[in-house]
Structure 1
Amino acid sequence: GTVETQINYHRYLATRYDASRDSVVVLGPYRRPIDNQSDVATLDPDAEGRAIAALHAASVGFRQAIENERSRLNLASQLEVVSRSVLAVTSELELNTVLRRIVDLAAELAGARYAALGIPGPDGELTSFLTSGMTEAEEGRIGHPPRGRGILGLLLAEPRTIRLVDLSTHPASVGFPPNHPPMRSFLGVPIVARGHVLGNLYLTEKRFGGEFTDEDARLVELLARHAAVAIENARLYSAIELQQERLRTIIDQLPEAILLLEPGPEEEVTMANSQASELLGWAITTPISVDEFLSRNPRFDADGTPVERYGIPMVRSLLDGETVARHELRLLRPNGDEITILVNSTPLRDSTGMVSGAVVVFQDISQIKDAEQLKDDFLSLVSHELRTPLTTIQGGATMLLRDWSALDAESRHAFLSDIASESRRLASLIENMVQLSNIRAGRHPLETEPTLVRSLVQHSVDAERQLAEDRAFSTSSEPGLMLDADPDWIDQVLRNLIHNAVKYTPAGLPIEVLARARGEWVEFAVRDYGPGIDEDDLPLVFERFHRAASARRSNAPGMGLGLYLARVVVEAHGGRIWIERPEDGGLRVVFIIPALTGDEPD
C-alpha cells in the first residue's frame, strides 16, 4: 500500500512495489507548504519511523538508479564515439589521413588534451610523430620531434598499455625539451598487428584534471585494435597504388598503345597509355564509355568496309570473352589521316572464370604496310626497268652473232649503239640501287675534304657528255670556289641530275649546268628544257620511287631514285635542294652546300 507522511512541512508518498522485499519508491515530495499545524496528520511513532526509513531507503535506491542510468548513458555515448571512430579510421585508405584521424579520435575517446601517434622504424626509433592538441607554432618552438626515448621508449621496448598519474615521477622519465607544455597524467597504448608494433598512442593531460581511468584505457585499446587494421589496409592500399603507378609508368614507355576495359551497365575504357592518345590522334581521358571511345575513330576492314561495333576486337573480348590476335583495322583520326593498326585483344577473368575486363594492345603498322606496298612497287618497277634494257641488249647481241656477215656496217653500228646505250642505262639503274642500299645501311659515310667546285662540275659534265654525244651542254662555274664536301657523293648528285636532264630534254636543246657563290654557300643548278613537272608532284619529287606524272606520260625510263638520292646526299652535307619551274618551260633543280662555314642565305 501507499504511505503518506509529512517531514519538515512537506508531504511525501512512499509505496511498496515488491511485496517480497522491502523495496520502496518515493512519489514526492509535494512542494505544498503547510500553513496550519492542524493540517499536519499525526502518525504514531512506529508508523513515522517506518515512513522515514522507507524514504531513506528509497532515496538511496533512487540515487543508485540515477547513477546506473548515467553510467548506461555514458557507456552508450562512448560506444557511439567508438563506433564513429572505427568507421572514421576504416573508411579512409590514404595513410597520412588514417594516422591523423587515429590520433584525433584517441584524444576524443580518452578526454585527453594532448595526443600523439608515433610510428617506429626498423631501428626501433620513431620515424613519424603526429600530434593532436598543439598548434604548428607550438610544435615549431619545441623543435625536433621525439625519437622514442624515455617513457615513450617503454612502449617501443615492451608493447603494453601504460597508465601513469604523474609521468614525471616515473624512473624512465627524461623530462621535456624547452618550450614543451607541462604534462602529468599519461596513457600509452600500442597499436599491434600480428605481433608487430605498427605504432603507439600517447595521451596526456586528462581534461578537467584527474587521471586516465581503466575505462579510458579499454576504449583506446579498442580503437587501437581497429586502428591496426586501418593502418595495414592503408599501407596495403599505398603499396598497390605504388605498384599501379610503376606499372603505368612502364606501360606509358611501351611503344604499343594499351587499353584496359571493364564491363558493366556501360562498358568503359578505364586506362589508356599515352601512346594510345598519340596513335589515335586525341587526348583520351579515362574513364570513358566504350561507345564514346569508338565514336572518335571510324574503323574499316582492309577492303574499306565499315566495322560494326560487335566486330571490333575489344568489344568481342569484353562481351564474348574472345581472344583476338593480329587483327588489322584501318581507322580515321580526327584530323582526317588514315592509319592501319594491328590489334591484339584478350579478356581478363576473375576467380570464377567470368569476364572482368579486357586488355587491348594495338600498334600503328601504316609504315609497315607502306613498306610492303613500296616493296611490291619496287619489284614491279625493277622487273620492268631491268627487263627493257636486257631485252634490247640480248636481242641486239643475238642479231649480231647470228647475222654479222649479212649486216652492213651501218646496221652493225646501230645494234652496237643500242647495246651500249642500254648497258649504260642498266649500269645507272644498278648504281642507284647500290647507292640506295649503302645509304640505308650506313656503309658509305661522308668523307669531306676541300674540293675545287669548277673541277668537280667539269668532271661530272664530261662523264655524262660521253654518254650523250647528241646533247649540247652549257656549263658555267665561278673560278676559285671551294667546297668542304665528299667529292664522290657530290659528283654522284650532279651526274644524276645531268642524267635526268639528258633523259627529258629533246635533241637540239641545251642542258645548263651552273655553279656560283651565294653568300657563304655554293649554289649548283641543272636546267633542262623537257616537259617539266606538274604542280601536284612538287611535294613528292624527292621521295623514294616516286615518278612524276610527266615522266610516266613520256614513257621515259627510270625508277624514281635519282632525286631521292640527291636529297639524301645534299642534306647529309648540311644543304638543301629544291625544284624551280622556269616560265619558259622545263625544270631547274637547285641545291646549296656550305662552302666552308656560314648561314643559309635568304
Structure 2
Amino acid sequence: MPLSVIKPVTEALSRAIGVPVSLLASAPAAVRREIMAATVQHGLGTVETQINYHRYLATRYDASRDSVVVLGPYRRPIDNQSDVATLDPDAEGRAIAALHAASVGFRQAIENERSRLNLASQLEVVSRSVLAVTSELELNTVLRRIVDLAAELAGARYAALGIPGPDGELTSFLTSGMTEAEEGRIGHPPRGRGILGLLLAEPRTIRLVDLSTHPASVGFPPNHPPMRSFLGVPIVARGHVLGNLYLTEKRFGGEFTDEDARLVELLARHAAVAIENARLYSAIELQQERLRTIIDQLPEAILLLEPGPEEEVTMANSQASELLGWAITTPISVDEFLSRNPRFDADGTPVERYGIPMVRSLLDGETVARHELRLLRPNGDEITILVNSTPLRDSTGMVSGAVVVFQDISQIKDAEQLKDDFLSLVSHELRTPLTTIQGGATMLLRDWSALDAESRHAFLSDIASESRRLASLIENMVQLSNIRAGRHPLETEPTLVRSLVQHSVDAERQLAEDRAFSTSSEPGLMLDADPDWIDQVLRNLIHNAVKYTPAGLPIEVLARARGEWVEFAVRDYGPGIDEDDLPLVFERFHRAASARRSNAPGMGLGLYLARVVVEAHGGRIWIERPEDGGLRVVFIIPALTGDEPD
C-alpha cells in the first residue's frame, strides 16, 4: 500500500490522540518483534501489549506480515511515571476505536488498489489480445488467435471456436489445448449438438459448474478428455452469429467467474470486428486476384502508374512483359521502366520523357488517345505500338495515378504497307498483259488485211501468251483468297507420284516449248495427298524455273524416296537468290532482289502458296543454293506405303 495513502492518516491520528501512530516497519526492532508475535496470534483484531513498561496498541489491516498499524508508546495513569503520553481509559478506548477505523480504511484502500491493479492487468491483457486479433487480416490466423487468447484470458485448459454454416451446424472447429494426435483420436469434430448447440440456438453467454449434469449434455465421444466447468460466449456482429467460443476446465480446479465471462465477452466483441475485417479482406483479395487474372488474360498490355517522390509502375500484366520483351517486376520506377525501351516518333525522332503518353497522364493529368510510337525491344526488334493513357483522380480531383493501355500494331502497319504494295503490284502486273492484249487485238481489228501472215501470228501469239500470264495471276490470287478464307480444304487420296510429276511437267512444257526439261521420278512412290494442290505447287515451281532460266539451260524436276517422306525438287540455272532474301522468299508478295533486277513478271505469290499447301500436308519446303549457281526448291510430303497400281 503506498505511503501517500497511509502517512497522512497516521499523522492525523497522532495529532488527535497525542500518541505516535506509525507502521510496524518504522518501529524499533525490539518493538517490531513483540508486536508481530502478538498480532500473529490475534489475527486482524486490535491487540494491546506492554514492552519495557510502555504500552502499545497494534492492529493488523491486511494478511501480509508487515501490514500492522502501531499506536504508542503511551502509559496509563496507574503506570509508573515516564516521559511518554498518558491515556486514561476513555482516551484509550477512543484510541482503540480510531485505530480500528483506520485499519478498516487501510484494508478497504488495499482492496481497492488490488482491484485497480487487477483491472489494469486484465485491461492490459485484453488490450494486447485485441491488438493481436485486429492486427491480423488473414482469416485462419485471426480465428486461431481468437481461440488461443480466449483460453489465456479465462484461464481455461481447453478452448474451441466453432463457426456455424448456413444450415446452423458447425462447419469449422478450431481448438486450443489439445495436440493434433489427441484431436485425431477423438475423430470427427462436433457438428453443434448438445451443450454446443445451446449457443447456436440462442446466442447468449452460458456458464456451467459441471456441463455433464446439464439436461442438454450428450456426453463425449471415445478418447475425449474429461471436462466439467464450461463457459460459452457467442461472437455476434450486427445480429448475426459469426462463431461461438467454448471454454472448459478452469485451471486449478475452479469454476469460471463472472469476471471471466466479462473478459471473454469483451474479446468476443473485438473478435467479431476482426472476423468481419478478415472476411472483407479475403473477399477483396479474391476480387483483386480475379481482376489480376482478367487483366493478365487481356490481349492488350496494361500498366498502372502512381505518383510520389519517384513515380512508379505498380502493376503490369503479362502481355506488357511479352510486348516489351523483358520481365517486368513491379514496383519499378518510371525512369527505369522507360530506359529499357527507347521510344521514337513515326519519323524516327527520339521521344523525350515528358512527351511520352504515360508521363503526360501521370504528371499533367492529360488523356492521350491512339498515340502511335515506335519502340525498341532489348533484342533489337522494333515494333509500333498504339498507346491510350488516362489519369486516375481522387475525390478532390487530384491525379492519384494513371492507366496505360497499349498494343502492338506492327502487323497492322505491315498489313497496311502490304496492301499498298499489293495494289501497286497488282495494278502493274495486270496492266502489262492487258496493254499487250489490248494493243494486239486493236491492231488485228484495225489492220488485219494490211498485215501479213507472220505479223498476224506474232500478234496472236503475244495475245495468247499474255492471256495465259493474266490467267495465272488471277488463279494465284483466287487460290490465295480461298486459302485465307478456308474455302478450299484438302481432299486427300492415294496419289501416284510419277504420274503427278509427269502431268505437271507436261502442262508447263506446252507453255514453254523452247525449254528443255529433265525429270526423274522413282517408281512406286505414293502419297496420301490432294493431287490438285500438289500439282499446283509443282507447276508454280516449274513456272518460276522457266521464268528465270536462260534459254538453252535445262530445268530439272526430281521425285524420290527419303525415309518416310517423298522429296520433290525443282532445279533451275538462273541468277539464283541473294542470302538476305532467303528468310523472306516464302512470304506473301515478297519478290527477291534478283527477280526485281531481271524485271521478270510476277506478284510474289507462287512460293507463298507452295509453302501453305506443303505445310497443310504435314510437309516442309526450303531453298537450296547449289555451288554451280541457280536455285533448287525442295519440299517433302509424308509417303504412303503400298504398291504401285497397274
Same fold (TM over 0.5): yes
Q: Which moved more, 1:33-42 or 1:276-285?
A: 33-42
- Displacement of 1:75 in angstroms is 0.7
Q: Deviations over 1:53-107 (max 9, x none)?
A: 3333322222222111111111111111112222221111111111111112222
Answering whether residue 153 of structure 2 is matched by residue 120 of structure 1, we say no
Alpha carbons of 1:123 and 1:22: their partners in 2 closer, same or farther (altered >3 Å)?
A: closer
Alpha carbons of 1:556 and 1:52: their partners in 2 closer, same or farther (altered >3 Å)?
A: same
Are 1:520 and 1:599, in contact at CA under 8 Å, matched by a contact in 2?
Answer: no
- Displacement of 1:601 in angstroms is 24
Q: Deviations over 1:324-367 (max 9, x none)?
A: 22222221222111112222222223333333322222222211
Q: Which moved more, 1:19-28 or 1:242-251?
A: 19-28
Distance 1:8 1:144 in 2: 77
Alpha carbons of 1:34 and 1:167: their partners in 2 closer, same or farther (altered >3 Å)?
A: farther
Distance 1:466 1:549 in 2: 29
- Displacement of 1:369 in angstroms is 1.4
Q: Which moved more, 1:75-84 or 1:520-529?
A: 520-529
Distance 1:33 1:142 in 2: 80
Alpha carbons of 1:405 and 1:196: their partners in 2 closer, same or farther (altered >3 Å)?
A: same
Secondary structure, counterpart of 1:318 in structure 2: helix
Alpha carbons of 1:61 and 1:391: their partners in 2 closer, same or farther (altered >3 Å)?
A: same
Task: Give the aligned CA root-mean-square deviation in angstroms.
Answer: 4.8
- Displacement of 1:40 in angstroms is 8.9
- Displacement of 1:156 in angstroms is 0.9
Secondary structure, counterpart of 2:575 in structure 1: coil
Alpha carbons of 1:350 and 1:93: their partners in 2 closer, same or farther (altered >3 Å)?
A: same
Are 2:433 and 2:466, in contact at CA under 8 Å, matched by a contact in 1?
Answer: yes
Q: Deviations over 1:495-518 (max 9, x none)?
A: 111111111111122222222333
Alpha carbons of 1:595 and 1:58: their partners in 2 closer, same or farther (altered >3 Å)?
A: same
Aligned counterparts, 1:221-370, within 5 A = 221-370=265-414
Distance 1:201 1:599 in 2: 85
Are 1:5 and 1:41, in contact at CA under 8 Å, matched by a contact in 2?
Answer: no
Are 2:232 and 2:245, in contact at CA under 8 Å, matched by a contact in 1?
Answer: yes
TM-score (structure 2 length as normaliser): 0.85
- Displacement of 1:254 in angstroms is 1.8
Alpha carbons of 1:416 and 1:328: their partners in 2 closer, same or farther (altered >3 Å)?
A: same
Distance 1:505 1:20 in 2: 123
Secondary structure, counterpart of 1:99 in structure 2: helix
Distance 2:142 2:478 in 1: 70
Alpha carbons of 1:595 and 1:205: their partners in 2 closer, same or farther (altered >3 Å)?
A: closer
Q: What corresponds to 1:94 in structure 2?
A: 138
Q: Which moved more, 1:6-15 or 1:34-43?
A: 34-43
Distance 1:336 1:20 in 2: 88
Q: Deviations over 1:268-316 (max 9, x none)?
A: 2222222222222122222222222222222222222222222222222
Are 2:301 and 2:406, in contact at CA under 8 Å, matched by a contact in 1?
Answer: yes
- Displacement of 1:380 in angstroms is 1.0
Distance 1:461 1:588 in 2: 16
Distance 1:501 1:88 in 2: 84
Answering whether residue 577 of structure 2 is matched by residue 533 of structure 1, we say yes
Q: Which moved more, 1:475-484 or 1:418-427?
A: 475-484
Secondary structure, counterpart of 2:405 in structure 1: strand
- Displacement of 1:150 in angstroms is 1.4
Secondary structure, counterpart of 2:449 in structure 1: helix
Are 1:5 and 1:51, in contact at CA under 8 Å, matched by a contact in 2?
Answer: no
Are 1:3 and 1:51, in contact at CA under 8 Å, matched by a contact in 2?
Answer: no
Are 1:296 and 1:334, in contact at CA under 8 Å, matched by a contact in 2?
Answer: yes
- Displacement of 1:194 in angstroms is 0.9
- Displacement of 1:29 in angstroms is 10
Q: Which moved more, 1:346-355 or 1:556-565?
A: 346-355
- Displacement of 1:175 in angstroms is 2.1
Q: Deviations over 1:389-426 (max 9, x none)?
A: 11222222222222222222222222222222222111
- Displacement of 1:522 in angstroms is 2.4
Alpha carbons of 1:232 and 1:11: their partners in 2 closer, same or farther (altered >3 Å)?
A: farther
Secondary structure, counterpart of 1:160 in structure 2: coil
Distance 2:508 2:536 in 1: 11
Are 2:61 and 2:104, in contact at CA under 8 Å, matched by a contact in 1?
Answer: no
Distance 1:35 1:599 in 2: 150
- Displacement of 1:433 in angstroms is 0.8
Alpha carbons of 1:33 and 1:139: their partners in 2 closer, same or farther (altered >3 Å)?
A: farther
Q: Which moved more, 1:591-600 or 1:239-248?
A: 591-600
- Displacement of 1:20 in angstroms is 30
Are 2:436 and 2:466, in contact at CA under 8 Å, matched by a contact in 1?
Answer: yes
Percent identity between the aligned chains? 100
Q: Which moved more, 1:208-217 or 1:197-206?
A: 208-217
Secondary structure, counterpart of 2:123 in structure 1: helix
Are 2:61 and 2:107, in contact at CA under 8 Å, matched by a contact in 1?
Answer: no
Structure 2: gaps (5+ residues): 1-44
Alpha carbons of 1:125 and 1:481: their partners in 2 closer, same or farther (altered >3 Å)?
A: closer
Are 2:54 and 2:73, in contact at CA under 8 Å, matched by a contact in 1?
Answer: yes
Secondary structure, counterpart of 2:244 in structure 1: strand
Secondary structure, counterpart of 2:198 in structure 1: helix
Q: What corresponds to 2:193 in structure 1?
A: 149
Q: Deviations over 1:513-555 (max 9, x none)?
A: 2223333432222221111111221222111111111111111
Q: Which moved more, 1:247-256 or 1:545-554?
A: 247-256
Distance 1:63 1:80 in 2: 25
Q: Deviations over 1:175-198 (max 9, x none)?
A: 222222222222211111111111
Alpha carbons of 1:300 and 1:197: their partners in 2 closer, same or farther (altered >3 Å)?
A: same
Alpha carbons of 1:174 and 1:239: their partners in 2 closer, same or farther (altered >3 Å)?
A: same
- Displacement of 1:241 in angstroms is 0.9
Distance 1:553 1:420 in 2: 26
Are 2:62 and 2:107, in contact at CA under 8 Å, matched by a contact in 1?
Answer: no
Are 2:75 and 2:87, in contact at CA under 8 Å, matched by a contact in 1?
Answer: no
Q: Deviations over 1:89-133 (max 9, x none)?
A: 111111111111111222222222222111111111111111222
Alpha carbons of 1:7 and 1:579: their partners in 2 closer, same or farther (altered >3 Å)?
A: same
Are 1:258 and 1:361, in contact at CA under 8 Å, matched by a contact in 2?
Answer: yes
Distance 1:475 1:22 in 2: 127
Are 2:230 and 2:246, in contact at CA under 8 Å, matched by a contact in 1?
Answer: yes
Distance 2:263 2:459 in 1: 113
Are 1:520 and 1:594, in contact at CA under 8 Å, matched by a contact in 2?
Answer: yes
Are 1:24 and 1:55, in contact at CA under 8 Å, matched by a contact in 2?
Answer: no
Alpha carbons of 1:33 and 1:592: their partners in 2 closer, same or farther (altered >3 Å)?
A: farther
Q: What corresponds to 2:643 in structure 1?
A: 599
- Displacement of 1:4 in angstroms is 12
Are 1:323 and 1:345, in contact at CA under 8 Å, matched by a contact in 2?
Answer: yes
- Displacement of 1:213 in angstroms is 1.9
Are 1:10 and 1:32, in contact at CA under 8 Å, matched by a contact in 2?
Answer: no
Secondary structure, counterpart of 1:39 in structure 2: coil
Distance 1:228 1:392 in 2: 92
Alpha carbons of 1:79 and 1:410: their partners in 2 closer, same or farther (altered >3 Å)?
A: same
Alpha carbons of 1:27 and 1:247: their partners in 2 closer, same or farther (altered >3 Å)?
A: farther
Are 1:530 and 1:586, in contact at CA under 8 Å, matched by a contact in 2?
Answer: yes
Are 2:523 and 2:644, in contact at CA under 8 Å, matched by a contact in 1?
Answer: no
Q: What corresponds to 1:15 in structure 2?
A: 59
Distance 1:559 1:178 in 2: 88
Distance 1:524 1:9 in 2: 139
Structure 1: gaps (5+ residues): none
- Displacement of 1:376 in angstroms is 1.0
